Amino acid sequence: MMEMNTPLKFKVSNLSVHDIVLIPLLSASLTAGKMALSFIPNVEIVTLLFMVYASVFGFKKTFLVSIIFSTIEIFLYGLQTWLIGYYILWPLLIFLSAMLYKKTQSEWPFAFLALTFGLCFGLFFAMIESIFYGFSYGIVYWLRGIPFDVVHGASNFVLGIFLYRPLEHLLSHLRDKYAFQHAIQNSCKTQ
């Protein structure tokens, strides 16, 4: 059998095999976490997980996680106007979390970011809805949702205070442990 030697060399991405496995797993964990708490109105773990992922894995990888997560939402719930907000808000939260992590590792700033994010969530989506359905609809949408935004912000704050630090430590430990094992495996292959 004749072997074909192709001179074409192209770079698909800068992602490692580790990243190609990690990013979908993190995306799936967001979807599973959202579904697990879906029976409680406006209590969710997605905000916390995005903040932790941005702190541990950085902006670029977590940004890709948010794109996959938001796209999965389309497959689960259909294309809705609120999904536009997901493609804007989650990357914004990831960016703010990554920047905040460079300044502090305390859980308090992250809890306050989560609180603010939850309180403003409905307002942001009201702005998107008003683009499609009119300003008065957006105002009513926001006013009707204020009690839910309060629950959303308060639950985000509580989750941030109690779970940010343990999750960040756990994922940092696992990231470092895998990176060390990965480095050992690569050095053994080159010898």
Helix axes 107-133, 135-190, angle to 10 degrees: 130
Q: Are 110 and 51 in contact (CB under 8 A)?
A: yes
Overall pTM > 0.85: yes
- Residues found in the chain: 191
pLDDT of residue 12: 55
Which CATH architecture group holds 17-33+41-184?
Orthogonal Bundle (1.10)
pLDDT in single tens digits along all 191 residues of the chain? 555 555 555 455 688 888 999 999 999 999 999 999 999 999 999 999 999 999 999 999 999 999 999 999 999 999 998 899 999 999 999 999 999 999 998 999 999 999 999 999 999 999 999 999 999 999 999 999 999 999 999 999 999 999 999 999 999 999 998 876 655 555 555 55
The pLDDT assigned to 14 comes to 81
Q: Is 74 helix (H, G, I), strand (E, B) or coil?
A: helix
Q: What angle do CA 72, 45, 160 make, to 5 degrees?
A: 145
Distances (CA, A) of 81 to 3, 30, 140, 164, 185: 52, 20, 16, 30, 47
Residue in this structure with the two tokens 């095999």, named with its chain if needed: 17
Minimal CA–CA distance to 127: which of 65, 81, 191? 81
For 162, left (φ over 0), alpha (ψ -120 to 50), or beta? Answer: alpha
Give the position of tokens 């359905």.
133
